[in-house]
Structure formats: structure tokens, C-alpha cells
Chain A
Amino acid sequence: AQSVTQLGSHVSVSEGALVLLRCNYSSSVPPYLFWYVQYPNQGLQLLLKYTTGATLVKGINGFEAEFKKSETSFHLTKPSAHMSDAAEYFCAVTLSGSARQLTFGSGTQLTVLP
């Protein structure tokens, strides 16, 4: 079975500051990892994903994440926050080769302060 833990249900940063959203996973086999963003009253939009290969993954809107197997982590970062980044962010995992059932973390609400 797999699970995802997102540390910090709420994160606040100032505009222009570094964004760091933490995600740790638990999986008995190599996982596929995803970050999704949910804007108010919207569905989930994929930011980036890790499947195999390069452990530093670049996504949309300037976000990136690094898969660290030794730390079982997949933290999401962005060098400079923008007001439009305010949203809820979900880390998710699915097992390689399995039917695609995403297990989501509990989400992190990002607030960007002017």
C-alpha cells in the first residue's frame, strides 16, 4: 500500500519569496509521484510528475520538484512566489504498473502575501 504525507496544511509566503511545499511518501515499490494544484471552485490541474529517469522534475508555472528516494520525499519548490500561486496543492502517488489509482495527500493551502 502507498501513502502520502504533506507537512503543513497551511503555508504563507511573501510575494517574491521561495515556495517550499513538503511531501513524503511511503511505497513498497518504485512510485510514480505527482503534484496537482486546485484553484477555488476548480478541478485539479497537474503541475508536474515523476515517473522514472531524472530526479529533478520541472513543471508548469515555474514549479519544480526533486525525487529523493533516500528521504522518500518529493518536495515542491518555486524560487519566487506570485500572487497567482495562491491555491491548494496536492501531492499524490500511484504505484508503477498498477491501475491508476492516485493516493492523495491531505493538501497544503498556499497563501501569498503582498
Chain B
Amino acid sequence: DSGVTQTPKHLITATGQRVTLRCSPRSGDLSVYWYQQSLDQGLQFLIQYYNGEERAKGNILERFSAQQFPDLHSELNLSSLELGDSALYFCASSPTGVANTEAFFGQGTRLTVV
């Protein structure tokens, strides 16, 4: 158990809908990262938050947004969903945003868009 909690574990929704994925980082970790794992794109970094502020952006679509709340949990919002958004979405956390610190990954949320 990495200490990172993601909910829900599975989500099935229709095209055009909007969903929210939730992540609770390890106790004391200030940084949260979101990654998408799909068959065709592999594992891709989406976005990072550090202590409530956006720190870095990767290949995140405009239809997607995220935020980190004062209690440090984070939410990833996916809207106008398309079939191609079906993927495993991972959240990771680390104590800081520094590159050489370990990131701990949650078990992921598997999103299926039908």
C-alpha cells in the first residue's frame, strides 16, 4: 500500500459526460501528479500541483482540468468525454516537487467511456 488513495477504482460513463476523479496523497506529501495510462499512448504525465498551486503541465487536454485543495487532496475533472479518453488514470504524490524524490503511485481509476 503506497498510502495514495484514489476513488473511484472503476468508472463507466457515456460519451459527452463529465466525471471527477479524486486523489488523497500520502500524509505530509505536498505534491500531487496525475498520469494517464492508455494502450496507444502509454503512461503520460498530465499535470502537477504543489501545495495548492499548479506547478507543471504535460499533455493535458483542454477538456481536462485539475485542482488541489487546502487539505492537499486533488481532483481531476474530465469533461465532454470521448471514447479515446478511456484509460487508467494514476495519481502520485511526493513530499516535494523536486526531481530526485520518490513519487508514490495510487492504484489508479479505470475510466471506461462507452
Q: Which residues of A come within 8 Å of B, CB atoms?
A: 32, 36, 41-46, 49, 51-52, 90, 92, 94-107
Contact = CB atoms under 8 A, between A and B. Distances in A.
B107 A97 contact: no
Given A100-B94, A101-B58, A107-B42, A51 B100 contact: yes
B90 A43 contact: yes
Contact of B100 (A42, A49, A101, A105): A49
A25 to B, nearest CB: 14
Interface in B64-82: none
A106 B41 CA distance: 8
B99 A95 contact: yes
Nearest to B100: A51
Interface of B: 2, 4, 31, 33, 35, 42-45, 48, 50, 55-56, 58, 90, 92, 94, 97-108
A113 to B, nearest CB: 25
Contacts, number: 67
Contacts of A103: 45
A71 B58 CA distance: 28
A55 to B, nearest CB: 15
A97 B96 CA distance: 12
Contacts of A100: 31, 33, 48, 56, 94, 97-99, 101, 103
Given A43-B2, A43-B4, A96-B99, A101 B33 contact: yes
12 contacts: A32-B100, A42-B107, A43-B2, A43-B90, A43-B105, A51-B100, A96-B99, A96-B100, A99-B99, A100-B94, A100-B101, A102-B103
Nearest to B90: A43
Contacts of A99: 48, 50, 55-56, 97, 99
A46 to B, nearest CB: 5
A88 to B, nearest CB: 10
The residue in B50, B94, B100 that gathers the most chain A C-beta atoms within 10 A of its C-beta is B100
Contacts of B98: 100
Contacts of B58: 101
A100 B99 CA distance: 5
